[in-house]
Amino acid sequence: MSFRAKNLRHQAFSAAFAAIAATRADRWGRGLAQGAGVILTLHHVRPQRQGGFAPNGLLEITPEFLDRTLMLIRAEGYDLVSLDQAVARLASPRKGRFFVALTFDDGYRDNVEHAWPVLASHGAPWTLFVTTGFADRTARLWWLELEESIRALRQIALTLPDGPFAARAGSDNEKQRAFESLYWRLRKHPEAILLSAISDLAGQAGVDAAALVERECLPWETLRALSGAPGVSIGAHTLTHPMLAKHDAAFAQMEMADGKARLEAELGMPIRHFAYPVGDPSSAGPREFALAAEAGFTSAVTTRPGHLFPEHAAHLHALPRVSLNGLHQSEAAVRALLSGLPFWLWNRGRRVNGR
């Protein structure tokens, strides 16, 4: 996630969605921007909660919106495919057939409780990218710790290596501003600084990091049951969910290879696909793309926004995805996302970005 950049991007996308809907560009623009297919990124799927302070709301859609999205995909005649099939379709595209692959990051309980029944009702295959440390209850949902801490506190005060951070957090607006400025300030630091600062804040707020992981993330028992189910694939998402590019190569290599090996041992099946945690250019770059290939993954997905074109068959470890985003739960947004036009415009017509 990158909130400031993403907020600007969201504003640009909102305007683009409206323009695309008004001009029916989702239809005439298809040949240009749609490509062979798209991989959608989802995180939480659960019923709408209380409004107000929800800084991670972009990572959450409702089961109803997922249902409407899958209905639209089916109504447009698009193919819902697994990641294995998506990779195969890049190598040998089917003229006139557009595919959509669904991926869910991190391994949340609500994916099984709220998303799976909807997916199953549409016969939609899906891939769940699992961070083994969440199933072990040892890794940290630091962005959620930050949210819960700011929710609980009325004043934020921290000492950081580059000086103090202080902000009021009385109202929802103040909490939102505090979250965004602290989030971005911390993202500039090495990950150890980010994690220790958020631990400090969680301590002040009485937020129990391990309890959040227990509340939100699937246990091994459920993952084992899920891994044999029809239409379900499990992919790797590291051991502890680090921003890999911020660490040395040996650590990044270990997180990727050991995450894969651990899943294979726990689930008793080969793990072929990988998702880079956070997945933006500051978290996954050319070094990580090479490491993913070296670790033996068939494909690896980023969060760089974009559709898939036949050229991506030569860049299978740097695949773009499109977020089915909680801030844009409308039919106009889905039509625009599936047209590819917002990303084609965002990437200025460049179809493959390997840097």
Contact residues toward Zn ion (CB under 5 A) are: 105-106, 277
Distance in Å, CB of 335 to Zn ion, minimum: 27
Closest distance to Zn ion from the beta carbon of 322 (Å): 16
Segment (H or E) for 2: none
Q: Quote the CA–CA distance of 290 and 253 in Å, as a whole number.
A: 10
**CB of residue 22 to Zn ion, shortest distance in Å:** 35
Residue 332's CB is within 10 A of a number of other CB atoms, namely 16
Question: For residues 98 and 129, which CB has a smaller minimum distance to Zn ion in the complex?
Answer: 129
Q: Tell me the sheet residues that pair with 168.
A: 155
Output 67 or 258, the one with its CB closest to Zn ion: 258
CA distance 325 to 62: 10
β-pairing, 99-106 vs 37-42, is parallel
Considering the complex, state which of residue 35 and residue 277 has its C-beta at the smaller distance from Zn ion.
277
Nearer to Zn ion, 131 or 347 (CB): 131
Running DSSP on this structure, what letter comes out for residue 78?
P
Residue nearest to Zn ion (CB): 105
Spatial separation of the C-alpha atoms in residues 344 and 16, rounded to whole Å? 11
Instruction: State the Cα–Cα distance between residues 133 and 277, nearest whole angstrom.
Output: 13
Asked if 237 and 259 count as a contact pair (C-beta separation under 8 A), the reply is: yes
Q: Which is nearer to Zn ion, 241 or 351 (CB)?
A: 241
Neighbours of 355 (CB within 10 A): 8
- Cα separation of 8 and 203, whole Å? 32
Contacts of 154 (CB under 8 A, 6+ apart): 168, 169, 170
Q: Which is nearer to Zn ion, 103 or 253 (CB)?
A: 103
All residues at 6 or more sequence positions from 224 whose CB lies less than 8 Å from its CB, including other chains: 266, 267
Shortest Å distance, C-beta 329 to Zn ion? 20
- Closest distance to Zn ion from the beta carbon of 239 (Å): 12
Output 60 or 106, the one with its CB closest to Zn ion.
106
Q: Which is nearer to Zn ion, 281 or 310 (CB)?
A: 281
Smallest separation, CB 106 to Zn ion (Å): 4
How far apart are the two ends of the chain, measured CA to CA in Å?
Answer: 18
Could you tell me whether strands 163-168 and 155-160 are parallel, antiparallel, or unpaired per DSSP bridges? antiparallel
Tokens of 15: 């305007």
Minimum gap (Å) between residue 241 Cβ and Zn ion: 6
CB of 238 vs Zn ion, minimal distance in Å: 8
* Pairing relationship of beta strands 126-130 and 37-42 according to DSSP bridges: unpaired
CB of 217 to Zn ion, least distance (A): 11
Instruction: Tell me the two tokens of residue 95.
Output: 């003229």
Task: Give Cα separations from 330 to 59, 66, 212 (angstroms).
Answer: 15, 11, 29
Nearer to Zn ion by Cβ, of 99 and 126: the residue is 126
